Amino acid sequence: DTEVTQTPKHLVMGMTNKKSLKCEQHMGHRAMYWYKQKAKKPPELMFVYSYEKLSINESVPSRFSPECPNSSLLNLHLHALQPEDSALYLCASRHDWGRRRTEAFFGQGTRLTVV
């Protein structure tokens, strides 16, 4: 199984709503990522988890709250978002082998629209 599964595929939410994005992988990867991608732009790193601990937060607003409940799951909790937060949210994972780097596997993304 070399898949990263993201749910839902599409999400429309109001600015006062609370919602969550989910990401799951069963490749034994211990590094998991959230990226945000706007149209015609590259993926922009938001958060990195290493062995279920948050290791990188790229100064993301607190209305985005990540969670890694176990080594296979990654969530992104959303609250009080703004229309400019509308984007494709990508989850990725890869092995965390110290100094040795490996390729990242990406999910298909959640297309989020904030109205």
Partner 1 sequence: SQKIEQNSEALNIQEGKTATLTCNYTNYSPAYLQWYRQDPGRGPVFLLLIRENEKEKRKERLKVTFDTTLKQSLFHITASQPADSATYLCALDRTYGNKLVFGAGTILRVKS
Residues within the interface to partner 1 (CB under 8 A): 4, 31, 33, 41-45, 48, 50, 55-56, 88, 90, 92, 94, 96, 99, 101-109, 111
Q: Which is nearer to partner 1, 77 or 97 (CB)?
A: 97
**Which is nearer to partner 1, 32 or 78 (by Cβ)?**
32
Distance in Å, CB of 31 to partner 1, minimum: 5
Interatomic CA distance for residues 69 and 81, integer angstroms? 23
Complex with partner 1: residue 72 or 108, whichever CB lies closer: 108
Smallest gap, in angstroms, from Cβ of residue 46 to partner 1?
A: 12
Between the CA atoms of 96, 97, 100 and 103, what dihedral angle is there, to the nearest 10 degrees? -40
Contacts of 81 (CB under 8 A, 6+ apart): 13, 15, 17, 63, 112, 114
Residue 74's alpha-carbon distances to 29, 52, 68, 98, in angstroms, are 12, 9, 5, 21
To partner 1, the closest distance from the beta carbon of 79 in angstroms equals 25
Question: Judged by CB, which is closer to partner 1: 1, or 16?
Answer: 1
Q: How far apart are the first and last CA of the chain?
A: 36
Q: How far is the CB of 64 from partner 1 (least distance, A)?
A: 18
